[in-house]
A and B are shown apart, each in its own frame.
Chain A
């Protein structure tokens, strides 16, 4: 079916529906305030927007520093082909994080106060400064794509010259703020369930960012290979799958050690409200992907690898939502569920992420080997989920 020369597909209709709902909620947010649009209240000052848009958004954008670090600092040249998509995801992730923040902050018009009224004791201040600087770094890392598109040779040389510095800076800033997102929660031990409060939260946040960075790189490479009908480098995917396997084992063992050390291991097996959420998280984070990835057959099969990566992503998203929301349920003696309008804004931000990734992949040389000229296929979103990834050895 076509309307006004635009092909109507399931994904496009979904996109339009999400955008309409999201724009309506945006209208409510900026005309009637936070109370009207969200289910946040004095007991739950942080809800879905902090839990998902901010905490998970930054985590899912970690692929940028993981992959560029591996390629430019450690000279793992084999991963070069996933560098640009990883940087694109990271750049979009951070820009959308800031967009999410503009919804969540009560007084978004004063967001720049961060730069003049500095409180050096505040973890939030550190996160804010890092995110601001890192978004600039990511912009510069992303810039060559645009410059190449318009054949601007001179500025590309300038950016190339400072590239190692950018990458080093990117890793430094990411280490700081990825872990500091965990430090945010250190100051209220009394409010959080012992399942999630641990003095090691910053380490777990950093490690889970690496795991999700790798998983997201697998996820987006597989998806875009499908959407654009382009080849997927199986060896690169296998390599990423192997790295993900190792990182997940490290996190799993550290989590276990942490549970035992803080004497909460036994209570995991006592059925409680929190325990069910913890189990969901542990199964998605570790049980499923670790079992899958332990088979070589899975690591070399793009479909199965994609599923393992997806499970990891969902697992760590659950983990962060648990940290931000579920863990405080007992203290508050109540529950929080995001409202429809609140959810629709989160969905809108996600949809925008997919949209801009799609646009960039089509019009910029993100996938170096195959330029957009090759993606003659009618529509990216149309093929999404329909096509088979072709394999290139």
Chain B
């Protein structure tokens, strides 16, 4: 069964335990200076944003139909059966198409390195495979970040909104965005205030559909176009041949 993360911003206290746990899990540096950074980078896969007394966590959404996996020419990204969208560094050639394609701008790059990797939250695939919760969910003291079965998390998110409608904006972020994501979010303030793209902007359709429609035409287009080109060549070549023979015949007749 597919797993997921439910982040409820109304429960978040901005303690950044998730950030620190994430750094530890992924062997990234973490200190006060990095804690103060409010952008995701190659050394910070998740960040807790604060605005007045409101918080919002940013991390890879782990799309059901990830654009990064679809665009990668060497298939360095794939979504596992458990839900995480993972990255195989040994395949990567560094074209950075994943970074451009991601609607949530999650993949970050090691710009300073000579053999750079794409970095992003990979939803602790080793822990998940062992049946454990992600590092961030385990570290969260208030239960704002909850790990569990995707389906039951959706049901729980709906329940929370239904039971306390005054506490939430009536939207589960990630339920329908770009065809659904494994990470779901609840908040009391509109999500776009924290830089999450509006659903009206990114749509409910899986992003790979946009290029898929074109790519699907290829198997039909290639033989058809080859046939047309070959046909035109044959006709125009034949015409030239006939013209040549006719000219010869005319010359012969004229000669007699």
Contact = CB atoms under 8 A, between A and B. Distances in A.
A41 B108 CA distance: 9
A167 B215 CA distance: 24
Interface stretch (A106-114, A231-239, A334-342, A343-351): A106-114
A184 B100 CA distance: 10
A72 interface: yes
Nearest to A35: B111
Interface in A180-229: 180, 183-184, 186-191, 199, 202
B97 A124 contact: yes
Interface string B25-51: 000000000000000110000000000
Nearest to A185: B100
Max chain A Cβ within 10 angstroms of own Cβ: one of B74, B201, B233:
B74
B226 A187 contact: no
A114 B210 contact: no
A250 to B, nearest CB: 19
A42 B41 contact: yes
B109 A123 contact: no
A106 B207 CA distance: 25
A40 B111 contact: yes
Interface in B218-242: 218, 221-222, 225-226, 229-230, 232-233, 236-237, 239-240
Interface string A133-171: 000000000000000000000000000000010011001
Interface stretch (B64-72, B139-147, B246-254): B64-72
Given A126-B218, A190-B201, A119 B94 contact: no
Interface stretch (A3-11, A26-34, A272-280, A281-289): A26-34
Given A187-B71, A187-B210, A176 B222 contact: yes
B interface residue count range (under 10 / 10 to 19 / 20 to 34 / 35 or more):
35 or more
Max chain A Cβ within 10 angstroms of own Cβ: one of B101, B202, B210:
B101
Contacts of B114: 30-33
A171 B229 contact: yes
B207 A168 contact: no
Interface in B85-131: 91-97, 99-101, 103, 105, 108-116
Contacts of B73: 114, 119, 122, 124-125, 128
Interface of B: 40-41, 67, 70-76, 91-97, 99-101, 103, 105, 108-116, 197, 201-203, 207-208, 210-212, 214-215, 218, 221-222, 225-226, 229-230, 232-233, 236-237, 239-240
Given A33-B114, A34-B116, 4 more contacts: A110-B93, A126-B218, A168-B233, A202-B214
